[in-house]
Amino acid sequence: DQQVKQNSPSLSVQEGRISILNCDYTNSMFDYFLWYKKYPAEGPTFLISISSIKDKNEDGRFTVFLNKSAKHLSLHIVPSQPGDSAVYFCAASLTHYLDTGRRALTFGSGTRLQVQP
Amino acid sequence: NAGVTQTPKFRVLKTGQSMTLLCAQDMNHEYMYWYRQDPGMGLRLIHYSVGEGTTAKGEVPDGYNVSRLKKQNFLLGLESAAPSQTSVYFCASTDEGTSGRALDTQYFGPGTRLTVL
């Protein structure tokens, strides 16, 4: 049972327009959410994060929105650029109940974003 | 800084063969992780380590063993490879936060693509 779901495997947008990537989660114990970006043949790189006590976090062209009641978060990229073309993973974190020193990351399956010039 | 490096980048094994994947980080991070990524699925945690000399099981540990003899290195072993272990393997590391727990932002290596025939 996937606790973090990215229901859109792919998304295509025009350069300069907004890209909206969505993520849903089921575990209400998650208290921190992250977005990672992955280019082919590279490892994921951290993009932006948000604590569960906030509903919005912004970093340049990237904004993450969190709706706790709906268990939904989204990543907005404005304006989209061709260099943003990559796979985006949503991840959620909580304190593992067996090991409070461990922060377990649960990843979604990813959304491939293609930004057309 | 090289960050997180993984050796080898590619490997093809026959069923029943063994191999070791090496992960090295030069950031003096306490926490290290091994994930596998399969098509249509997010990254799944295999094993992790909260410090030199310690290891623990993650979400999908069966068929793998790990060792953390040195702080900077985390080894993933396959004793008897099976076709189900065909995957891309990612190593990640992170530091300890002021709360004494692992930080949520993890730094990933470039991955090892393993094929088991």
Q: How far apart are CA A65 and CA A90, in angstroms?
A: 12
Q: How far apart are CA B112 and CA B117, in angstroms?
A: 16
Contact indicator for B6, B49 with CB cutoff of 8 Å: no
Contacts of A43 in chain B (CB under 8 A): 4, 90, 92, 108-111
**pLDDT string in tens for chain B (117-residue length):** 779 999 999 999 999 999 999 999 999 998 899 999 998 888 999 999 988 999 989 889 999 999 999 999 999 999 999 999 999 999 999 887 666 666 778 899 999 999 999
Give, in degrees to the nearest 5, the angle at Cα A75 between A58 and B98: 55
Q: How far apart are CA A36 and CA A107, in angstroms?
A: 9
User: How many Cβ contacts (< 8 angstroms) between chains A and B?
Assistant: 65
* Nearest residue on chain A to B98, alpha-carbon basis: A101
pLDDT at B59: 87
What confidence tens digit (pLDDT) does each residue in A78-109 have? Answer: 999 999 999 999 999 876 555 545 666 889 99
Pairing of strands B10-13, B112-116: parallel
What confidence tens digit (pLDDT) does each residue in A42-84 have? Answer: 999 999 999 999 999 999 999 999 999 999 999 999 999 999 9
Question: Do A107 and B48 count as a contact with CB atoms less than 8 A apart?
Answer: no
For B2-117, strand residue ranges (E) read 4-7, 10-13, 19-25, 31-37, 43-49, 56-57, 65-67, 73-78, 87-94, 107-108, 112-116
